[in-house]
Structures are given as C-alpha cells and as structure tokens.
Amino acid sequence: MKLREDQVTVAGRDCGIRTAVIGPVGDGAWPGVLLYTDIFQLTESTLRSARRLAAAGFVVCVPEIYPRGPLAGVALEFDDAGKRAGLAGAAATTTGQFDADRIAVLDHMRQRADVTTLFAAGFCIGGHLAFRAALDPRVAATVCFYPTGLHNGALGADADAGSLAAAGDIRGRLMIVFGAQDPHVPADARVRILADLYAAGHDDLELHVYAGGEHAFMRDVGARHDPVLTDLALDAAVSFFRGR
C-alpha cells in the first residue's frame, strides 16, 4: 500500500505539538492510531514502525512527547547523550501536560475527514502514555508495547500518575506486549500490572510476553532489536485493532 506523509502542528493547550501523520494514499477514511514514541521522539526508527502500521490500513498520528522547551522539534540520537536528554525531557513533563497533549491530538484526529475509529499505541514511556489514552472513552482499542512505569505509576515528573488505579475507567479493548528479558518491566512488575487490570475488570485483555525479548526489542537500531519478535508484535497489533 502506498503511503502519504505530512507534518502538522496540533494546537495544544500551551504549545504547538509537532505531529507526523502517515496514512494510505487515496480518498476515503481509515481507522486512526495515536502512536506514542519512546523518549527519543520522532526518530526514523519509530517512523518506520508508524509506516508499517499505516500500510496495514491506518492513519497513524505520531506526536512529539516533549513539545515544550529545548526538545521541541528534536529527534534524539540513540546514544548516552540522547538517553540523558530524553530522560530529562520526561522529568520536566507532568502527567497533566501529557494528558492535555493527548486530548489535543485526539481532538485533531476526531476532526480529520480521513479518520474513523480512534485507536492508541506506544513504545516504552509511550506505552504508558497509550495506556492513559485508553482512559479517553473515544479510544476503542489500545496496544501498549513494553510500557514503562505502569506497574509503579512513575511517569515523567510524577512519582505516581495513578494510571493503574484508573484502569476501571477504560472502556475500550486492551492489548499489552512485553519482552520476557525486560529489566524495566521484570516478571514481578508484569504480574502486578496483570493483577491490577484483572481486579479492575479487564480479565479479557490480550497479553503477549515474548521469550527472549529485551526492552525496546522493536526498535530497529541497536543490539536489542529482534526482527522476528517485532514482526510478531506488529502483526498481533494489526490483527487486534482489526478486531479479528
């Protein structure tokens, strides 16, 4: 499927949010996916994942997660300096700001003539942000790829964003993907997440734990990348969004 790519600036509450929009060429409307990046923002690696989703028949909107301050407009390198900058960007962003930006991007997607149903997905911190997007009743289904901080609530500047505690407010379908060798979300953290979600009534969620998968195994740069697991996870996400 041929794709078109644009960059738009979504009007946020107190900033403009640079957003890549990737979707199928041609007239018509498609389901829309709000896709959150990891801490490195709009890298070519994440955009390649966005293109793969779009090629399956979705309009994928990928916003910067740090649209304020020195990281606005910056795609970080996958090195120590980039990691430090990305973590600093997270530490400077409150849950309230993340939530306000999500509302703005979903509002933009809802107003687009080429978008129908709203979905959400994200990687790492973006997996946590996608989980919070699932709290919006407009989001019909969400896929969280190895979400960090979900088990203990840590998100950006906040020690506990209360995300799991709010899980009962999720009305859409939910799928979560983990790598079994992820030190950021080890086995006890995964058990905590699953137990809390079951307790909140989400006993029909879809869970994938890939043996041998490390943190960020879907990022196609670096030694942790696993192409086979990446294909499995993306295929599962597309199938999940399509409702099987």
What residue ranges do the domains of the chain occupy?
Answer: 3-241
> What are the tens digits of pLDDT across the range 67-76?
999 999 999 9
CA angle at 188 for the pair 184 and 193, rounded to the nearest 5°: 85
> What are the tens digits of pLDDT across the range 186-243?
999 999 999 999 999 999 999 999 999 999 999 999 999 999 999 999 999 999 999 9
| 3-241 classified as CATH 3.40.50.1820 | yes
Note the pLDDT of residue 116. Answer: 98
Q: What is the mean pLDDT of residues 131-152?
A: 98
User: How far apart are the C-alpha atoms of 238 and 163, rounded to whole Å?
Assistant: 25
User: How far apart are the C-alpha atoms of 112 and 201, rounded to whole Å?
Assistant: 33
Note the pLDDT of residue 244. Answer: 77
Note the pLDDT of residue 80. Answer: 97
Report the candidate in 69, 73, 60, 63 with the shortest Cα–Cα distance to residue 105: 63
